[in-house]
């Protein structure tokens, strides 16, 4: 039997809801997967897409972003921006040859310690199914890379096009 795959996952938790939920999970002694490494941000809206890319660049097998439920943001509406960035990032990751499912967005209120723990467990299990990031290997040299780059360049040109 080979050693089970222990993924490295970066979890960005917003200070007001999800980080507090993780504290609650602790206080309630709810056991969950140890593979998510937690980083506190004030708001899920602070999660710069560059942070997510950097996490993958550093070899993270998955990135979790957790924030307050829509409508409950401590900063009124900033998690809506997270929703858009999440969609944008999934699209972008796919193009870069990283499975979009390696990025997940969840909402966990300060009262949902149990739910956050379960969400982390579920995400870890899903990432384990995907296997290690192993980007260069997983992204087969079958032309994917070229095609992706071409598409990105084409789209960029399209958006930058100045109407005559």
Partner 1 sequence: MIDHESLRIGVYVCHCGSNIAGALDVEELTRFAEGLPGVALSRHYKYMCSDPGQELVKRDIVEHRLNRIVVAACSPNLHEPTFRRAAEDAGLNRFLVQMCNIREQVAWVTEDKADALTKAEAHLAGAVRRVAGHEPLQRQFVRIVPRALVVGGGIAGIQAALTLADAGHKVVLVEREPSIGGHMAMFDKTFPTLDCAACILTPKMTSVKLHPNIKLLTYSTVESVEGSVGNYRVKIRRKPRYIDEDLCVGCMQCIDGCVFTQAKFSNAFDQGLGLRKPVYLPFPQAVPPVPVVDPEVCLQIARGKCKQSCVEACGERNAFKFDQQEEIEEYNVGAIIVATGFKAFDPSVIEYYGYGKYPNVYTSLEVERLLNAGGPTGGKLVLRDGSTPKRVGIVHCVGSRDANYHPYCSRVCCMYALKLAHLVREKTGAEVTNCYIDIRTPGKGFEEFYNRVQNEGVQFIRGKVADITPAAGNGDSPHLPERPSGCLAQMGTVPFSGGLVMQVDDTLLGSIRKVEVDMVILAVALEAQADAGDVRRTFGISCSTEGFFLEKHPKLAPVNTANDGVMVAGACQGAKDIPDTVAQADAAAAKAMVLIDSGQIELEPNTAWVDEEMCSGCKTCISLCPYQAITPDEERKIAVIDQALCKGCGTCVAACPSGAAKQHLFGDEQVNEELEGLMNYV
- Who's near 127: CB < 8 A, 6+ residues apart? 7, 9, 61, 62, 102
Taking CB under 8 A as the criterion, which residues in 112-151 touch partner 1?
A: 117
Give Rg (Cα) of the chain.
Answer: 17
Measure the CA–CA gap between 8 and 42, rounded to whole angstroms: 22
Binding string, residues 76-115; x marks residues near partner 1 by CB under 8 A: xxx--x---x-----------------------xxx----
Provide DSSP, 90-117: HHHHHHTTS-GGGEEEEE--TT-HHHHH
26 contributes a contact to partner 1 by CB under 8 A: yes
Q: Contact 120/21 with Cβ under 8 angstroms?
A: no
Question: Computed from CA positions of residues 42, 59, 135, 158, in that sequence, does the dihedral angle turn out positive or negative?
Answer: positive
Q: Which is nearer to partner 1, 31 or 129 (CB)?
A: 31
Taking CB under 8 A as the rule, does residue 70 contact partner 1? no
Which region among 37-45, 124-132, 144-152, 154-162 touches partner 1 (by CB under 8 A)? 37-45
Nearer to partner 1, 75 or 145 (CB): 75
Binding mask 40-59 for partner 1 (x = CB under 8 A): xxxx-xxxxxxx--xx--xx
Rounded to an integer, what distance in angstroms lies between the CA atom of residue 117 and that of residue 30? Answer: 7
Nearer to partner 1, 55 or 98 (CB): 55
Among 103, 40, 109, CA closest to 69: 109
Among the candidate windows 30-38, 89-97, 137-145, 150-158, which touches partner 1 by CB under 8 A? 30-38
d(CA 80, CA 86): 10
Q: Which of 20, 98, 102, 104 binds partner 1 (CB under 8 A)?
A: 20
- Residues that bind partner 1 in the complex, under the rule CB under 8 A: 8, 10, 16, 19-20, 22-23, 25-27, 29-32, 34-35, 37-43, 45-51, 54-55, 58-60, 71-72, 74-78, 81, 85, 109-111, 117
């Amino acid at each position: 039997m080979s050693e089970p795959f222990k993924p490295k996952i970066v979890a960005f938790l917003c200070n007001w809801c999800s980080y507090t939920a993780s504290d609650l999970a602790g206080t309630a002694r709810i056991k969950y997967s140890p593979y998510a490494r937690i980083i506190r941000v004030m708001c899920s809206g602070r999660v710069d897409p560059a942070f997510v890319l950097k996490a993958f660049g550093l070899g993270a097998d998955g990135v979790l972003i957790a924030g307050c439920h829509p409508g409950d943001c401590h900063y009124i509406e900033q998690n809506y921006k997270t929703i858009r960035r999440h969609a944008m990032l999934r699209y972008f990751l796919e193009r870069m040859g990283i499975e979009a499912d390696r990025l997940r967005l969840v909402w966990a209120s300060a009262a949902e310690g149990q739910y956050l723990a379960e969400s982390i467990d579920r995400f870890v299990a899903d990432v384990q199914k995907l296997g290690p990031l192993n980007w260069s290997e997983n992204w087969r040299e079958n032309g994917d890379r070229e095609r992706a780059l071409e598409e990105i360049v084409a789209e960029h040109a399209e958006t930058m096009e100045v109407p005559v």
